[in-house]
Structure formats: structure tokens, C-alpha cells
């Protein structure tokens, strides 16, 4: 996003002075161990500590060392580690145990397990490929995926996993990356790559970002030849390098350097990036400041080995600046060439020593002083633990509805004698899981059509279409990679397209989503990404209406379906109804368009979403405008907005209501009864009820950020950093981290603030900051975890939560403001409220982000008296109590805002003249509001980023009363019986 000039100057100065400072210090015990081990190594062993050899039950053309040869290498050369490939888990573990027992120095055990150990081990269930993960909306699932892979690795005695792949697959014909990538969007690749990395590294396994500087835009497999990428440095920087830079900021511990020929980086003949000093030392180390471990890609791959045979390639890789050599083919030859390079002053002995110590520090961190012995009892069972559940979770969130005619197939069996459903399994010749399930449980007839079948497609399609009401087509068993159209025959494509002439036909594509290009005209189309029984089961559950479809395409498959395509079909959302059927005038509702457009024309806001629901049904939902007046990105109905003070009712008050229901909070008790740190202050005896009503006498707000700025402008160096660390881990904006203990200071400022006599109405953010902390004190969970567990997940919400940049790609989140007084940047995905940001993005008064559809579910649950779709969340009496007027001196409910009590006589009724007195809701500073009217059973939601406009226009939404006018128009459109 664009920065103001002052912001650019500030960021430059801040980075220059503080950006490269690091508080990370290697502890003394680590230094002592590393120095001790290093001093015990011979000069030759300091070289061989940089080497990793292949371990596998299978040989690969006799090139590498296996089993007894590995033992020989350990005893003779004291190699640095091993890389595990194909084999059984018990045999591999026994080998690792034997190797570690023999090793003079603990071995770093690595594996290339992008989709878990099942990628390499037999009898271990494989997880989903990264391209399927790329379809998932919420990155927290990918974090859990990384956490599970870490658990596998730890159990198997593995320390490094060569994952995640953060190559951007922007070439559909890529023969080597393709479905190993998260997709074609740099932001989502970075988001999911960071989540996967954190999931592993938070759980003790070193992650490795690969393949630097980006292997996605190639048409040659580097295992066979050297791929060429003809892109300029600026082009690489704007795309391929972006995910790597983001993972570097996030603290990825290692990088694997690819075998690519990129003339813009190094034009020397046949000089791959992996052995290019300009690439490894110049670009990676000097320009991007990556100081973690670097691994070469396998040195036996023909992309480099054909040009630099034997030990020569090992020397070239170290001269380039790499730390560790993966799979050198010739150890003695490598030692000879490396020593020659030292003699010829191509690399210094000091460089070898420094890299050796670097490797030893990594071993200390991830292994300790002695490698553990892998217990082989129940090993395979332990490695499979949780894998099927994870794969089901991924499939459930990834399946992507690309086209939909409006109704799911009728799969219930009404008459077993009359078969109405046909399943056409393309690419199979016998029942698979979905075919068998449909046959046995839904009385379906199953047809098979192999890619080698030559039967006339039109005649078969006509026969099936004439006989069956429900036609489900599954595309199965095609190749992972795009050569020869994935192995899908033209006759098979013709059959599917002929079947899709039936507007009710449903096509399910089980495998690489690029193959969807063959079926883009299908009237009902579901991308399922992989072809296993669990994914097939999730697809069938969607067809039955048991689960939602919330995935989006991670890549462009055709002109019709580009990256990000996907219809959100959430079974938990409000059903859609025609306004006329509910009693509304369509012509009157259409006048909302002109009200909104007038607001956009006046620069009151760049775009918005309006939603109306009546009697539990959504009758109007429309997105208008853009995210920014200077940006072409358009608002969609699933755009995520900063809720600002709507957080107070849709997070904090909900949580308080639940605790009240459970008898865990008494509204008549005081703050001091729940928060020990409040005792002894002037806040101790303020009642919870008064806090909910904003009658506790607290000041309206405290500008916490101001005392952290020098001269009111510059961030103070001991309070902020531009790089996250253990001591500075509170993100408040991009490249902006608050020291970890500063929140204690903020709470002290609240305790030190003045208090007016209780009973006076002062709308205060501090009230809800206290309430948020009470929720956490009682529940033992963070506020965001508590409301997620109690409300958001059970309600089936898709986009609601705090810190959205950790969960969703930035393109889905509306930018909030080009802020020029504190963080000096265009805020997007970070909470607008500076206090909430300094509390880590989670606070009782602000921090929630959501969409109109999600909010409609929350408000409908409240309108229903605390229940939704057969599940009770709150007692109806609790909802009635909290949403009623509860104050004699204000319009407030308990936590909820309400209409002014004298609306009938006010010149400017609030929130609108037509609402009933029972109406409840809230507005937000960023340009949001949610209102529910129990008398008229009407919900009104308006979401905008009204502060994302020039300062001169920032109050126009209020002055023009856009929200009130739209709400009144909704009431005017209702035709009363």
C-alpha cells in the first residue's frame, strides 16, 4: 500500500537506526557446547560437518550412500547429518538410532516431508499437498497442519523438515512445483507459508523455506536440467521474492537454495543460483539480510551436476555462501576441491569455521547435546495419529464451489425401486469410496468411464440424462502434473461436457485444480483438489447439505475461474429469500443504491456492504464501491472489515452474557471481585453493571501511544522494534512491534486515571477493556479464544475473529486508514484503534473483524432469543435482560446500544426514526453498524471503511447520516399487511 511521504521518511529512519538491531543472544550454555565441540573437530571435520547424506531403503542409480555406506561416512568423515527418503518408519528409525549412536557429533536429521512423513514413509498416511491448503480460507488450519507435521518429526527423531514450499506457482505447466505450491498469489503463499513454518518451529522442528529465489515460473524440471527464468530483479522482487522476505521477517530458521539459471542475478554460463555468490551471498545474505542456515538443493540433481561434476559442485556451493551441502555425490572429492578452494583463496578457512559453528548452534537448539533414541514401539501408529482428522479438516475447508445452479442434488431415498441418481465415475473402472457410498446409501447407479474408453460420449450422456434426475460426475485418477492434459482423454472431456448440458448435473473434480480448465462450463462445479476416500467423503457431505463450501481457488484455471474464485456456500448462513415474498417493495429497496452512491460520490466512504434480513431470511445483500479511492480492488459481500466498537457487543458482551448464563459472573459485583490487580485502586468497587452501562465513571479513553513517541512523533527505541523478537513480540502494524511488557504499563495508566462519581454516563473504551480482562480471568482463555470456542465456531462463522492478517490473505481485508499520527502507514489487517493494537490486536473494546453474513448470524441468534439452527447459545431471559433499556440516564442496554428514548421527537433520531424501542445493536468508529429489531424481526448491517478517506472527508458518513437513511429506507420498503 502507499505511504505518505512523512511515513516513508519515518520508516526509513526507523529501519536505519533500529531495524537491524537484534536482542537475540546465544545463551552461554549453547556457546560453551559449540566451542567445545568445535575445538574437538579437525579441519577436515569442520568441512564434513557441512555435509548431509541420503538415507533410504531404495538406491538411486548407485549415486548416494546408503545404510552401511552412511556408517562408513560417519566413522571416517564425521558428517554433519543425513536426509531421510523412502522407507518404513521402524527401519528408518533403527537406522537413525544406529547412526546417532556411532556419530562423534550429533547428526542433524533432515527430511523432505512437505505433506508429512507419509510423503516418504510407507505405512504412514500422507497429508494434503500444499495446493489444497492454498484453497483454505483460514491460515490457522495450516498452522495446525505444521504443528502435526512437527509432532511426526519429533517422534521419528527428525530435526529439520524441508518445508514449506513458498514458490509462487505462476506457470500452470510447471512440471516440478505445481501442486507443491500454495498457489499463485504472493500474499496467500506468504501467509500460509508463515503459518506452516510457525506450526513447526513453535513445536521444535526447524522449517526451511524453499526454493530460493523462487521455482514457480519454470517449465523444466531441475532434477533433469537447469531451468531458466528470464525476469528482471525488480520483477523478481515484486513477486517471487515476496514470500521469502515475509518468512525471513517471521523468523524462518533456514532456506533451501534452488538450482535455477537467472541471468538477471548471475549471467555466468550454467551458473545456477545454488552455486552463485551473487545469489547466495549477494542477494540472500547482503540484500535480504537472511542470517539463518542455508541448504543447497540436492547436489546430485542434473540441473547442476551435469555442469559441475564430482566434488567440484560442493566447493562451488560453499564459495557461493551456502552453509550445508545436501547430498554431495563424492565426499573425498568434495573435501579435496574445498581444500583447494581454500588454498586458492576462493574461500577462507574462517568462513568454513563460522559455518561449522553455525551448524553446531542449530544442532544445540534442535537436538541438544545428545540425540534422543527413537522408541520404535507403536511408531507407525504414533506417526499416523491425527492424520485422518487433519486431512478431513483440510478437505472440509478447501472444497471450492465454482458454479452453482441454486440447489443440491436430491440424494435421499424416497423409493428404492425407482433409481433417480447416477454417478458417472470418469477415470475409474471399479467403485471408489464415493461411488460405493452413493450406490449403497443413496440407491444410485454407477457408471465407469476410463480415459482409454472409446464409447460414444454423446450417446452415453443422452442415455444417462434421459433416465436419471440427479447426475453426479466425478473426475478421478488423473495425473498430478499437467503433461498431456493430466492424462485426461478428449473423449472423457466430451462425455463430461455432454452430461453438463443438463443444468442439474454436478461435476466434482478430484485432483489438481488446474484440470478444472476442461470443465469450466459445468452448471454445478466443485473443485476437490485430491482423490482419496476422505476428500470424496467431504464432497459427498457437501452434496447432502451437511457441510459448507468455503474454499477459493489458489490458482487461475481458466478465464471464468481466476485465482480467488469460489462461492461461499455456508449452510449456517441465513437462507436467502425474495424481498417480495417477505413483504418488501423491490422498487423501494432499490433506492438504497442511490443513497449509497451519493455517499461514495461525496467521498464519505470508498465502498461498503449492506445487508438486510427479515424473519430469519436474508432479503438484501449488496457490495458497493472499492476498498480505496486510489485502488481498483472492489468490495465483495465477503470483504472483511474492522468492526471497531461493534467488538463490544459481538465479542465482549456475548462473552459476558455466556458467563452470566453459567453463573460465573454477578453483575452486581465489583471489578475488584474478578481482577486482583484492580484492588486498592479507585476502580476496585465499580460494579460490572455500571461498567456495561458506561456509568462507572471511567475516562472515555487513554491515548496510550502518545507517551511512546519522542517529541510526539518518533517511536522511542526501547519501546519499539521493526523486527519481531521474544522481547518485542506485540505486532501493532507492519514492521512495527511493541515491547512485550508494555501492556503492564498500559494497565497501570488505566488504574492511575481519574474516576468521576458512578452513575454518570461517560461512553468509555476503558469499560470494555476491563470487561475483556474479566472474561479472560474467569474463563482462563483469551477473549478471542473464548468467543471463538463458545460462539463463532459453533455458529459456523467463516471470517469473524481478531488479528485477521494471521488468518486471511490481505486482499480479503478492507484497508482501514492511511494513518498519519502513530504508525504512519496504510493499515490493513491490523486493528485501527491504537489502544487495541497496543494490546496485541485483542481487546474488549476493539479488534474484531468480520463480514456482513457472519454478523447476520450473530444478530439472528440474538433475535431468536439466544438460539440458532436448533442449538442454544444463550438463555432467552439473558438476551432480554441485556438488550433492554437498563439505565435511567442514558439509552444504553447492558453492553448494547439502543435507540434514543425520545426518537419520536428528536430532529435527528438514532439510529433511525423507524426502529422500534426494542431495537439493539452498536455502531463502530470505522464506519460499521449492526442493528436488530425484535418487533419487526429485521436486521440491518452496514460495513464500510469510512476512515479510509482524506481527513477532510472523514466525518461525512455521520454528517450525511448515510446509515440512518438506508435503515429508514429498509423500513419504508416493508409493505405492512
Angle between helices 312-320 and 349-366 (to 10 degrees): 80
Rounded to an integer, what distance in angstroms lies between the CA atom of residue 353 and that of residue 173? 42
Joined together, the cell numbers standing for residue 175 give 512440471
Total count of residues recorded for the chain: 977
Burial label for 724, CB within 10 Å (0-12, 13-18, 19+), is middle
Strand partners, 567: 401
Cβ partners under 8 Å of residue 155, min gap 6: 374, 379, 382, 383
Answer whether 828's CB lies under 8 Å from 14's CB. Answer: no
Q: Which residues pair with 731 in a beta bridge?
A: 737
| Whole-number Å distance between alpha carbons of 169 and 179 | 8
Cell numbers found for residue 415: 423409493
The shares of helix, strand and coil residues in the chain, as percent rounded to the nearest 5, are 40, 15, 45
| 3-class SS of residue 872 | strand
- Catalytic: 297? yes
Region class of 888: left (phi > 0), else alpha (psi between -120 and 50), else beta:
alpha
Calculate the CA 325 to chain-centre distance. 32
> Taking the mean position of all CA atoms in its chain, how far away is CA 809?
7
CA distance 163 to 113: 7
CA distance 130 to 684: 52
| CA–CA dist 844, 835 (Å, integer) | 11
The C-alpha atoms of residue 507 and residue 812 are separated, in whole angstroms, by 27
Angle at 17 between CA 11 and CA 19, to 5 degrees: 65
Helix (H, G, I), strand (E, B) or coil at 272: coil
Tell me: cis bond preceding 923? Omega within 30 of 0 counts.
Answer: no
Give the sign of the dihedral formed by CA 608, CA 609, CA 614, CA 616: negative
- Residues 6+ away with beta carbon under 8 Å from 717: 17, 18
661 is catalytic: no
Q: Do the beta carbons of residue 800 and residue 792 sit within 8 Å?
A: yes
Which of the following is catalytic: 221, 223, 445, 666?
223
**DSSP states along 665-688:** --TTSBGGGT-GGGTTSTTTT-BH
Tell which residue, 551, 471, 565, has the closest CA to residue 517: 565
Integer CA distances (angstroms), 168 to 131, 141, 218, 240, 304, in order: 11, 20, 11, 6, 22
Dihedral sign (CA 415, 420, 426, 429) = positive
For residue 164, cis peptide bond before it (omega within 30 degrees of 0): yes
Burial class (CB in 10 A: 0-12, 13-18, 19+), 557: buried
Inter-residue contact 697 to 757 (CB < 8 Å): yes
Residue 917 and residue 935: Cα distance in Å, rounded?
Answer: 9
What's the CA gap between 922 and 299, in Å, rounded?
Answer: 61
**Catalytic hit among 138, 179, 297, 933:** 297
Phi then psi for residue 855, to 5 deg, are -65, -35
Cis amide bond preceding 213, omega within 30: yes
Burial of 26-50, coded b for 16+ CB within 10 Å and e otherwise, reads eeeebeebbeebbeebeeebbbbbb
| Cell, residue 874 | 444463550
Q: Which of 588, 625, 591, 586 is nearest to 609 (CA)?
A: 625
Residue found by looking up cell 529512519 in the block: 13
User: Which residues are catalytically annotated?
Assistant: 223, 297
Amino acid at each position: 500500500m502507499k505511504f505518505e511521504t512523512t511515513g516513508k521518511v519515518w520508516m526509513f529512519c526507523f529501519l536505519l537506526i533500529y531495524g537491524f538491531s537484534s536482542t537475540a543472544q546465544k545463551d552461554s550454555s549453547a556457546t560453551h557446547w559449540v566451542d567445545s565441540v568445535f575445538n574437538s573437530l579437525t579441519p577436515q571435520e569442520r568441512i564434513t560437518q557441512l555435509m548431509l547424506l541420503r538415507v533410504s531403503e531404495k538406491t538411486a542409480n548407485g549415486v548416494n550412500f546408503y545404510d552401511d555406506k552412511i556408517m562408513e561416512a560417519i566413522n571416517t568423515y564425521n558428517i554433519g547429518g543425513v536426509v531421510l527418503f523412502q522407507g518404513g518408519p521402524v527401519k528408518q528409525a533403527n537406522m537413525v538410532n544406529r547412526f546417532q549412536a556411532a556419530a562423534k557429533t550429533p547428526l542433524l536429521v533432515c527430511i523432505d516431508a512437505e505433506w508429512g512423513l507419509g510423503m516418504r514413509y510407507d505405512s504412514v498416511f500422507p497429508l494434503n499437498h500444499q495446493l489444497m491448503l492454498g484453497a483454505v480460507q483460514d491460515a490457522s488450519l495450516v498452522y495446525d497442519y505444521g504443528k502435526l507435521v512437527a509432532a511426526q518429526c519429533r517422534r521419528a527423531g527428525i530435526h529439520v523438515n524441508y518445508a514449506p514450499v513458498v514458490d509462487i506457482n505462476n506457470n500452470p505447466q510447471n512440471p516440478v512445483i505445481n501442486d507443491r505450491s500454495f498457489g499463485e498469489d504472493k500474499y496467500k503463499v506468504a501467509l500460509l507459508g508463515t503459518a506452516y513454518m510457525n506450526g513447526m518451529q513453535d513445536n521444535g522442528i526447524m522449517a526451511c523455506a524453499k526454493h530460493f529465489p523462487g521455482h514457480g515460473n519454470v517449465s523444466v524440471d531441475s532434477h533433469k536440467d537447469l531451468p531458466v527464468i528470464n525476469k528482471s530483479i525488480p520483477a523478481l522482487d515484486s513477486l517471487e521474492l515476496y514470500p521469502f522476505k515475509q518468512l525471513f521477517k517471521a523468523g524462518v530458521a533456514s532456506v533451501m537454495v534452488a538450482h535455477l539459471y537467472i541471468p538477471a542475478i548471475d549471467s555466468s554460463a550454467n551458473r545456477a543460483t545454488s552455486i552463485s555468490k551473487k545469489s547466495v551471498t549477494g542477494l540472500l545474505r547482503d540484500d535480504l539480510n537472511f542470517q539463518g542456515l542455508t541448504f543447497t538443493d540436492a547436489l546430485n540433481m542434473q540441473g547442476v551436476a551435469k555442469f559441475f561434476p564430482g566434488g567440484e559442485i560442493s566447493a562451488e556451493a560453499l564459495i557461493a555462501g551456502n552453509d550445508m551441502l545436501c547430498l554431495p555425490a563424492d565426499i573425498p572429492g568434495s573435501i579435496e576441491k574445498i581444500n583447494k578452494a581454500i588454498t586458492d583463496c576462493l574461500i577462507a578457512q574462517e568462513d568454513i569455521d563460522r559455518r561449522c559453528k553455525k551448524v553446531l548452534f542449530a544442532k544445540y537448539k534442535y537436538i541438544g547435546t545428545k540425540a534422543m533414541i527413537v522408541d520404535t514401539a507403536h511408531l507407525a501408529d504414533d506417526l499416523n495419529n491425527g492424520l485422518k482428522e487433519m486431512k478431513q479438516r483440510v478437505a472440509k475447508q478447501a472444497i471450492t464451489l465454482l458454479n452453482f445452479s441454486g440447489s443440491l442434488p436430491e440424494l435421499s431415498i424416497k423409493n428404492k425401486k425407482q433409481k433417480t441418481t447416477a454417478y458417472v465415475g470418469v477415470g475409474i473402472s471399479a467403485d471408489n469410496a464415493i461411488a460405493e457410498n452413493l450406490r449403497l446409501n443413496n440407491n444410485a447407479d454407477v457408471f465407469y468411464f476410463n480415459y482409454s474408453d472409446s464409447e460414444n460420449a454423446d450417446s452415453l450422456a443422452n442415455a444417462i440424462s434421459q433416465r436419471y434426475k440427479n447426475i453426479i460426475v466425478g473426475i478421478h485418477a488423473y495425473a498430478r502434473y499437467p503433461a498431456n492434459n493430466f492424462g485426461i482423454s478428449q473423449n472423457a472431456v466430451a462425455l463430461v461436457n455432454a452430461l453438463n448440458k443438463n443444468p442439474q448435473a454436478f461435476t466434482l473434480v478430484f485432483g489438481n485444480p488446474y484440470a478444472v480448465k476442461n470443465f469450466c462450463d459445468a452448471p454445478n462445479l466443485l473443485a476437490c483438489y485430491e482423490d482419496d476416500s476422505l476428500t470424496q467423503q467431504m464432497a459427498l457431505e457437501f452434496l447432502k447439505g451437511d457441510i459448507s463450501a468455503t474454499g477459493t481457488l489458489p490458482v487461475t484455471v481458466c478465464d471464468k475461474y481466476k485465482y480467488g474464485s469460489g462461492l461461499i456456500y455456508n449452510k449456517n448462513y441465513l437462507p436467502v429469500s425474495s424481498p417480495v415474498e417477505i413483504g418488501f417493495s423491490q422498487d423501494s429497496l432499490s433506492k438504497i443504491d442511490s443513497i449509497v452512491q451519493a455517499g461514495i460520490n461525496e467521498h464519505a466512504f470508498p465502498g461498503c456492504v449492506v445487508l438486510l434480513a427479515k424473519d430469519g431470511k436474508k432479503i438484501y445483500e449488496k457490495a458497493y464501491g472499492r476498498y480505496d479511492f486510489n485502488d481498483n480492488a472492489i468490495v465483495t459481500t465477503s470483504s472483511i472489515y474492522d468492526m471497531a466498537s461493534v467488538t463490544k457487543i459481538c465479542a465482549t458482551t456475548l462473552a459476558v452474557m455466556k458467563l452470566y448464563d453459567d453463573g460465573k459472573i454477578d453483575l452486581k459485583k465489583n471489578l475488584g471481585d474478578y481482577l486482583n490487580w484492580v484492588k486498592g485502586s479507585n476502580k476496585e468497587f465499580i460494579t460490572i453493571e455500571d461498567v456495561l452501562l458506561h456509568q462507572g465513571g471511567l475516562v472515555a479513553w487513554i491515548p496510550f501511544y502518545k507517551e511512546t513517541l519522542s517529541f510526539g512523533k518518533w517511536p522511542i527505541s526501547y519501546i519499539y522494534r521493526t523486527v519481531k523478537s521474544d522481547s518485542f513480540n506485540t505486532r501493532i502494524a507492519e514492521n512495527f512491534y511493541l515491547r512485550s511488557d508494555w501492556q503492564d504499563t498500559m494497565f497501570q495508566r488505566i488504574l492511575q486515571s481519574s474516576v468521576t462519581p458512578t452513575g454518570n454516563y461517560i461512553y468509555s473504551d476503558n469499560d470494555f477493556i476491563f470487561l475483556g480482562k474479566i472474561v479472560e480471568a474467569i474463563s482462563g482463555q483469551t477473549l478471542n479464544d473464548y468467543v471463538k470456542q463458545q460462539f463463532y465456531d459453533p455458529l459456523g462463522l467463516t471470517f469473524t475473529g481478531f488479528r485477521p492478517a494471521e488468518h486471511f490473505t490481505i486482499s480479503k481485508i478492507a484497508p482501514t486508514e492511511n494513518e498519519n499520527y502513530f504508525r504512519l502507514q496504510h493499515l490493513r489487517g491490523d486493528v485501527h484503534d491504537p489502544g487495541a493494537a497496543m494490546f496485541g490486536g485483542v481487546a474488549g473494546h476493539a479488534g474484531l473483524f468480520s463480514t456482513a453474513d457472519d454478523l447476520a448470524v450473530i444478530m439472528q441468534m440474538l433475535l431468536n432469543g439466544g438460539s440458532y439452527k436448533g442449538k442454544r447459545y444463550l438463555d432467552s431471559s439473558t438476551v432480554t435482560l441485556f438488550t433492554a433499556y437498563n439505565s435511567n440516564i442514558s439509552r444504553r442496554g447492558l453492553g448494547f446500544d439502543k435507540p434514543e428514548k425520545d426518537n419520536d421527537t428528536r430532529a435527528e433520531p438514532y439510529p433511525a426514526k423507524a426502529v422500534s424501542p426494542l431495537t439493539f445493536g452498536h455502531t463502530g468508529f470505522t464506519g460499521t453498524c449492526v442493528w436488530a429489531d425484535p418487533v419487526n424481526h429485521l436486521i440491518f448491517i452496514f460495513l464500510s471503511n469510512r476512515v479510509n478517506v482524506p481527513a477532510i472527508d472523514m466525518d461525512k458518513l455521520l454528517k450525511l447520516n448515510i446509515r440512518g437513511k438506508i435503515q429508514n429506507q429498509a423500513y419504508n420498503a416493508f409493505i405492512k399487511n
